[in-house]
Homo-oligomer: A and B are copies of this chain.
Amino acid sequence: MGTPPALAYDAARMTAATDTHRFPPRTEHLLDRATDFCSRENMKLTSLRRQVLGLMLESARPMGAYDLLEQLRTLHEGAAPPTVYRALDFLLELGLIHKIERLSAFVPCLHTLEHDHGLHAHEEGEECLHSGQFLICRECSQVTELEDAGILAAIVAASRKAGFRMTHSTIEIEGVCARCAGAAHARA
């Protein structure tokens, strides 16, 4: 992550930055990383997409598309459902966010942002988007993304045994997180 050379991209980013909502520094930093990630993939994190990802990073919890729409409207007048869904599709395809199917909601993938790549090889030679594993707390609604090699290995092995060629896996684990379990214990 050395300092990127000053290129035409910088100009775009400046303009985008001035007329765009500013998130807290930590979020803006992650958004900058996302911008870099996108340009390495020859894609563009437009101002709209950046705002959507920013809203998700600011949220402690998974956000539904219409939650996002409501928030986005305060920043971007005239946003409509397709506005949000297009941004979500883009972010999903790059692996910058994940969808939690059981919640019909979305979370940013910190793994991709922090490791600067969202690819994962779960068969030799085949690269594909990583699909994390999600711990969903039914008390506090927080979601934690894991990337557990043991789970992945077990799933790959079971698929293989069934002659199934896996391309994506959805692993969502519901229960009570450590913090909430601790709180319940303290109350009791």
- Given the complex, which residues of B lie within 8 Å of A137, measured CB to CB? 164
Binary contact readout A124-162 vs B (1 if CB under 8 angstroms, 0 otherwise):
000000000101011000001010101101110111001
Question: Which residues from B are CB-within-8-Å of A165?
Answer: 175-176, 181
The docked-state distance in angstroms from the alpha carbon of A157 to that of B133 is 13
In the complex, A28→B169 CA distance in Å?
34
Nearest CB in chain B to that of A167: its residue = B175
Contact residue among B138, B151, B158, B181 (Cβ-Cβ distance under 8 Å from A158): B151
Tell me if A89 is interfacial: C-beta within 8 Å of chain B: no
B170→A146 contact, CB < 8 A: no
Which residue of chain B is the closest to A172 with respect to CB atoms? B170
**B158 with A148: CB separation less than 8 A:** yes
Categorize the interface residue count of chain A.
35 or more
B135 A164 Cβ-Cβ under 8 A: yes
- A18 shortest CB reach to chain B, Å: 40
A58-86, CB < 8 A from B: none
Chain B residues with Cβ below 8 Å from A187 are none
Instruction: Give the residues in chain B near A181, CB-CB below 8 Å.
Output: 163, 165
| Residues A155 and B138 in contact, CB atoms below 8 Å apart | no
A102 to B103, CA, bound (A): 11
Using a CB–CB cutoff of 8 Å, the interface residues on chain A facing chain B are 101-102, 133, 135, 137-138, 144, 146, 148, 150-151, 153-155, 157-159, 162-178, 181
Show 21 residue pairs from A and B whose CB-CB distance is below 8 angstroms, ordered by the A residue.
Answer: A102-B170, A135-B164, A137-B164, A144-B162, A148-B158, A150-B154, A150-B158, A162-B178, A163-B177, A164-B176, A164-B177, A165-B175, A166-B175, A167-B174, A167-B175, A168-B174, A168-B175, A169-B172, A170-B170, A170-B172, A171-B171
Given A163-B178, A170-B170, 11 more A-B residue pairs with CB atoms under 8 Å apart are A101-B101, A138-B167, A150-B157, A155-B173, A159-B173, A164-B173, A165-B176, A166-B175, A168-B175, A169-B172, A171-B171
